[in-house]
Amino acid sequence: MASRHQRRQRAAVDAARLATERGSVGVTRAKEVAFKAFLLFSVGIGIAMLVTLIVKAFVDGMPRLNIDLITAFPSALPEQAGIQSAIVGSAYLMVGVAAITLPLAVGSAIYLEEYADKDRWWNRLIEVNVQNLAAVPSIVFGILGLAFIVRGPLGIGPVILAGSITLSMMVLPTVILASREAIRAVPDSIRQGSLALGATKWQTIRHQVLPAAVPGVATGMILALSRAIGETAPLLLVGGVTFITFNPELDPQDWFGFDSQFTALPLTIFNYLARPQEEFRTLAAAAIIVLLVLLLTMNSIAIYIRNRYRKRLEQN
Amino acid sequence: MPESVTDEEHTEIERSRRTDEELLSRGSDRASLDVGGAARPREGYGTQAHIWQREKVFELSDVRISYAGVPAVRDVTMNIHKNAITALIGPSGCGKSTLLRSLNRMNDLIPTASLDGTVHYHGEDLYASTVDPVRVRQLIGMVFQKPNPFPKSIYENVAFGPKVLGMKDDLDERVQGALEGAALWDEVKDRLDSNALGMSGGQQQRLCIARALATDPDVILMDEPCSALDPISTGKIEDLMLELRESYSIVIVTHNMQQAARVSDATAFLIVELDEAGKQRTGRIVEYDETEKVFTNPSDSRTEDYVTGKVG
């Protein structure tokens, strides 16, 4: 809801913009128009590509967009096949990624922002490392997961937990970055005020800085999850078997399901697309729609959180 | 144990006529007349003893505060007395805020800051290694230039100090008492759960004062508390200061000379000096005396120039 001041500001800016645009004469005016056209064209191309993708997926997948899709498991017969195990597998993976990434990322961010002395070389080294990790191709994380988690020292096998750990390593730098930004955005005056009252540094972080940083951290976490949910390459290596006809068991012995073999949405899509039958491609398109809907929902939640809390802090 | 400052240590300090020796010796001569003793009485003094005769809250001796070795303010020797409002005035950069922050060890938070000399608080060395800065800040509260309420409810803001310090009993009464002490209770008692950021600037600053009061302090430090506020809010806070003086000792840094003249009992005037090489700017006290004297009959011509508006 715009305040009176904001409305007046907007009106003034609009008036100024009109004056600038209308004021141009002749060649300058043509340049203005051409520039604007070019900008619209650039935006248009991006949107057009996205719209084409979504429309094609819808058109191809429409025949199979019904409840059977979600209730049925993969099968050799396309009429009976669904993607339930893929959806549940993806959900498990995301829960695992969130549980692993959140404490590690927030802890790292707190250390780097609040405790690390930037003049020390090892702290600068940590920072550079974190930034570099964000650029590593996802398949490298898959190899890492295969070598050290599925086999090697941890050796837990091609199970959901291995997939979660691998994906966590991949998204960790992003969430660390988002958390650091969120912590940095908390005004220093809040810390000073808290310390001046007699709070210790940790009390200040726990009671003032972290609560104020929650929206930024949540946004970063959700955006990281929305990236992880679509990753295929690392999961292929870590053992995401594509033909799974069961859901993981919520059994304590099976680590509540994390110790079970799994599949995920992108893996199932990949698998269905590779099959010769036309019906499987329809199924794949339907699965793509499901994945897109999930992505859209997650991103919308992240944006909503970010917008709502930005207003709250800016009320100052 | 506290060492009393001897006269010899102060002969080398250049001062204006009403010299620091006189102040200090007067203080120590009259030590037996100090009222109050160890406890901090909450009720007012009524007809107050003369300011220099009251108990000394802070005794600064040859204090020099430096950032990364460069002195920001030096040769500070002064006493701050109980239940008085002591004002620090002077041009920008003379180290007033630095000096103020040294009184509750907020300079500890700046890694490059260091302090030479001694600061005694009720006779104890404030910077001794055995002193807990957390306890110091409980007893010596601070209000900042720009109101900085936490992005929480009004109640949570005021309750934060007591909570983190472990004073968890009677939290409601404590919050109410603090808000009453800051002359804010009547305005907010019906909306204690609303966000503190929704208040006006003057109310926010009074909330910050209430926050400081909630920890049962002995001293309240104020760093230009009204410079971000409109004149009416400023007036309210000045009235509040005069009320608070009954129960607390207040040290205030202000750019507003009229404010210093209005509310304070004692005023210290600082200036910035260039060193011989002409490179470093360091602050020091020119004159420290009763406010009335500083403003009507100052001993140093530089003070006179400043308070009459000829310079600065």
Instruction: Look at residue B18 and tell me whether its pLDDT is greater than 60.
Output: no
pLDDT at res. A64: 76
How far apart (Å, rounded) are the C-alpha atoms in residues B183 and B203? 9
Instruction: Look at residue B22 and tell me whether its pLDDT is greater than 70.
Output: no
Q: What is the mean pLDDT of residues B65-76?
A: 90
pLDDT at res. B24: 32
A-chain residues near B164 (CB < 8 A): 194, 197-200, 203, 207
Instruction: Look at residue B175 and tell me whether its pLDDT is greater than 80.
Output: yes
Which of B135, B151, B211 lies nearest to residue A313, judging by beta carbons? B151
Instruction: Look at residue B1 and tell me whether its pLDDT is greater than 60.
Output: no
Tell me, yes or no, whether B41 lies in a domain. Answer: no
Contact state of B195 with A194 under an 8 Å Cβ cutoff: no
For residue B113, list its beta bridge partners. B67
Contact state of B144 with A187 under an 8 Å Cβ cutoff: no
B-chain residues near A313 (CB < 8 A): 151
Contact state of A195 with B150 under an 8 Å Cβ cutoff: no
pLDDT at res. B39: 33
pLDDT at res. A26: 67
Tell me, yes or no, whether B2 lies in a domain. Answer: no
- Phi first, then psi: what are they for A127, rounded to 5°? -60, -45
B-chain residues near A117 (CB < 8 A): 111
Q: How far is B135 from chain A (nearest CA, A)?
A: 7
Tell me, yes or no, whether B217 lies in a domain. Answer: yes
How far apart (Å, rounded) are the C-alpha atoms in residues B227 and B118? 30
pLDDT at res. A54: 86
Q: How far is A305 from chain B (nearest CA, A)?
A: 16
Angle subtended by helix axes A278-313 and A265-274, to nearest 10 = 150
Q: What is the extent of the structural domain holding B188?
A: 8-36+49-307
Instruction: Look at residue B45 and tell me whether its pLDDT is greater than 70.
Output: no
Q: What is the mean pLDDT of residues B2-28?
A: 38
Which of B144, B160, B164 lies nearest to residue A189, judging by beta carbons? B144
Q: How far is B274 from chain A (nearest CA, A)?
A: 30
Testing the interface with B: which of A195, A197, A308 to mutate, by most B Cβ within 10 A?
A197
Mean pLDDT for chain B?
82
Q: Within 13 A of B125's CA, how many CA atoms are on the CB side?
A: 15
Q: Amino acid identity of A284?
A: A
How far apart (Å, rounded) are the C-alpha atoms in residues A275 and A199? 63
Q: Which residues does A contribute to its contact with B (CB < 8 Å)? A: 117, 187, 189-190, 192-200, 203, 207-208, 211-212, 312-313, 315-316
A-chain residues near B215 (CB < 8 A): 197-198
How far apart (Å, rounded) are the C-alpha atoms in residues A11 and A52? 37
Instruction: Look at residue B32 and tell me whether its pLDDT is greater than 50.
Output: no
- Residues of B (208-237) whose Cβ lies below 8 Å from A: 208, 211-212, 215
Look at residue B143 and give its three-state secondary structure: strand
Write the pLDDT tens digit of every residue in B135-161.
Answer: 899 999 999 999 999 999 999 999 999
A177: closest CA among A230, A228, A132, A234? A132
What is the layout of strands, in order, in the sheet containing B56-67? B124-125, B113-121, B56-67, B70-81, B281-290, B266-274, B85-89, B249-253, B219-223, B140-143
> Which residues of chain A carry a pLDDT beneath 50?
316
Q: What is the mean pLDDT of residues B103-127?
A: 91
Nearest chain A Cα to B167, which residue? A198
Write the pLDDT tens digit of every residue in B261-275.
Answer: 999 999 999 998 887
B48-57, B117-126, B171-180: least confident range: B48-57
Tell me, yes or no, whether B212 lies in a domain. Answer: yes
CATH of the domain at B295: 3.40.50.300
Q: What is the mean pLDDT of residues B213-234?
A: 92
How far apart (Å, rounded) are the C-alpha atoms in residues A314 and A201? 24
pTM over 0.80: no
Testing the interface with A: which of B102, B143, B164 to mutate, by most A Cβ within 10 A?
B164
Query: Is the CB of B153 inside 8 Å of chain A's CB atoms?
Result: no
Which of B111, B144, B160 lies nearest to residue A192, judging by beta carbons? B144
How many domains, chain B? 1
Instruction: Look at residue B25 and tell me whether its pLDDT is greater than 70.
Output: no
Write the pLDDT tens digit of every residue in A253-277.
Answer: 767 778 888 888 888 888 888 888 8
% of chain B beyond a pLDDT of 70: 84
Q: Secondary structure of chain A: what % helix, strand, coil (to 5)?
A: 80, 0, 20
Tell me, yes or no, whether B312 lies in a domain. Answer: no
Contact state of A208 with B150 under an 8 Å Cβ cutoff: yes
Nearest chain B Cα to A194, which residue? B161
- DSSP designation for A209: I
Q: Are A299 and A307 within 8 A, CB to CB? A: no
Instruction: Tell me the Cα Rg of chain A.
Output: 25
Q: Domains in chain A, please, with CATH?
A: 4-62 (no CATH), 67-313 (1.10.3720.10)
